[in-house]
């Protein structure tokens, strides 16, 4: 199921909007390491969805979706750290944390739809 129009995927749209929200949130942050890591993570989520969709196979798409989901978890962790360290207010961080959870669930749903169980696929090849 290679897709050539990743822009139509709701998960790509939402993760792109999340990236913009995160970039706006971290713009004034003085902690370079946190700001840099969060910028890379938030950009990684929609970028990996797009890259996987443009690949030639479902297997590669699943792999890039897995990377995107990992980046969403990393971003959520950084939001928690920023919240606990007083860098972000609860009012700013909480909705973004929720959005990362929802996006991660959407990514997992798409992975499953693509047939994410490689072990089962391998078994069906041999039997």
**Above pLDDT 90, what percent of the chain?**
83
115 — pLDDT class (breaks 50, 70, 90): confident
- The predicted-structure confidence for 30-59, as pLDDT tens digits, reads as follows 999 999 999 999 999 999 999 999 998 999
Q: Which of 76, 82, 80 lies closest to 33, judged by CA?
A: 82
Lowest model confidence (mean pLDDT) among 5-9, 11-15, 87-91: 5-9
Q: Which stretch of DSSP H or E encloses residue 83?
A: helix 58-84
Superfamily of domain 6-126: 23S rRNA-intervening sequence (1.20.1440.60)
Domain range summary for the chain, segments of one domain joined by +: 6-126
Read out DSSP for 40-69?
HHHHHHHHHHHHHHHSSSHHHHHHHHHHHH
Q: Which of 19, 20, 38 lies closest to 88, judged by CA?
A: 38
Q: What is the predicted pLDDT for the residue at 116?
A: 52
Q: Which of 125, 110, 127 lies closest to 58, judged by CA?
A: 110
């Amino acid at each position: 199921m290679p897709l050539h129009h990743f822009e139509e995927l709701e998960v790509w749209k939402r993760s792109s909007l999340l990236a913009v929200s995160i970039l706006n949130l971290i713009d004034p942050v003085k902690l370079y390491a946190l700001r840099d890591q969060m910028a890379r993570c938030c950009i990684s989520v929609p970028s990996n969805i797009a890259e996987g969709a443009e690949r030639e196979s479902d297997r590669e798409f699943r792999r890039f979706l897995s990377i995107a989901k990992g980046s969403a978890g990393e971003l959520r962790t950084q939001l928690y750290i920023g919240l606990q360290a007083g860098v972000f207010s609860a009012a700013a961080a909480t909705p973004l944390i929720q959005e990362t959870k929802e996006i991660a669930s959407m990514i997992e749903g798409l992975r499953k739809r693509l047939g994410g169980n490689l072990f089962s696929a391998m078994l069906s090849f041999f039997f």
